[in-house]
Amino acid sequence: MNRRASVLREMGLAPVWRLRDAPGATVDSPPAEAAASAEVAADVAPVAAAPAREPAVLPARTAVLPTAPPLVAPARVATEDMDWAALEAAIGACRACPLHERRTMAVPGVGDRAADWLFVGEGPGAEEDLRGEPFVGQAGKLLDAMLAAIGLARGRNVYIANAVKCRPPGNRTPEASEMAACQPYLERQIALLQPRIIVALGRPAAQTLLGGEVKINAARGRLFDHAGIPVVVTYHPAYLLRNPQDKAKAWEDLCFARAALAPR
């Protein structure tokens, strides 16, 4: 067993997710709980999809979900001309919604500022609020393992951000008004990054990016559009910690995203 497989198993992330270069490979279904003691490796192709559904790729990258108006903050912060330093300073000083009242630190984002991949989560948790960096708790460890499984790493061709930049009390789901207040910051991050692919981790992130009601199960395996950049929707790592049976589905989504990278 290679080092990466050993690390993933130590973190409780079996079945091990592993890529294979063979063009005809498919996703193997995870074994039953009774066979959990056996070593399992899921060989997948760069393009993977659930057998029960056919991914619908939008050739013109036309958004399909704007059944509700986009989130718009009552008083939008003017971020259009900000560079990275000015943007992060503005996030750190933001008072646009009540979330700033209880925060320890704002959490702008972290990673490679020339990244092809942008991962957008929901909002900071308790540990993120203390450290000022997204995804540093248990969900962050799982996200790091997911990245490693497709040959990526935090800080290397990857940027990680959240829909809201301050921790919601009790780690609750951000409210629509809070996501709207933070949306200009996320939009500026996207404009500065110009990523080739955006992965929305969870429903709040997907709704912020797509401007409408999103159901994760219905949105999986489909390619959406945000400002000309393809968007893939999958589960938030915190959800996967509570529902490990869906890790295989998240793996399929990452393979689908990898295949959908927009050409430069």
Q: What is the pLDDT of residue 6?
A: 56
pLDDT given at position 140: 94
Tokens of 61: 């990258």
pLDDT average per 10 residues of sequence, the chain (264 residues): 54 50 40 35 36 41 44 64 96 94 95 97 94 93 94 95 95 93 97 97 96 94 95 97 96 95 66
H helical segments located in the chain: 3-10, 84-92, 126-131, 138-149, 176-193, 203-210, 216-219, 237-242, 247-259
Domain parsing of the chain, residue ranges: 56-259
Per-residue confidence (pLDDT) for residue 261, from 0 to 100: 86
DSSP letters spanning 115-150? -SEEEEES---HHHHHHT-SS-SHHHHHHHHHHHHT
What secondary structure letter does DSSP report for 96? S
* Domain 56-259, classified CATH 3.40.470.10, yes or no: yes
In DSSP terms, 42 is beta-bridged to: 17
Q: What pLDDT is attached to residue 15?
A: 52
Residue 8 CB partners (closer than 8 Å, separation 6+): 14, 16, 17, 145, 148, 149
Quote the pLDDT of residue 78.
Answer: 84
User: 59: phi > 0 → left, psi -120 to 50 → alpha, else beta; which?
Assistant: alpha
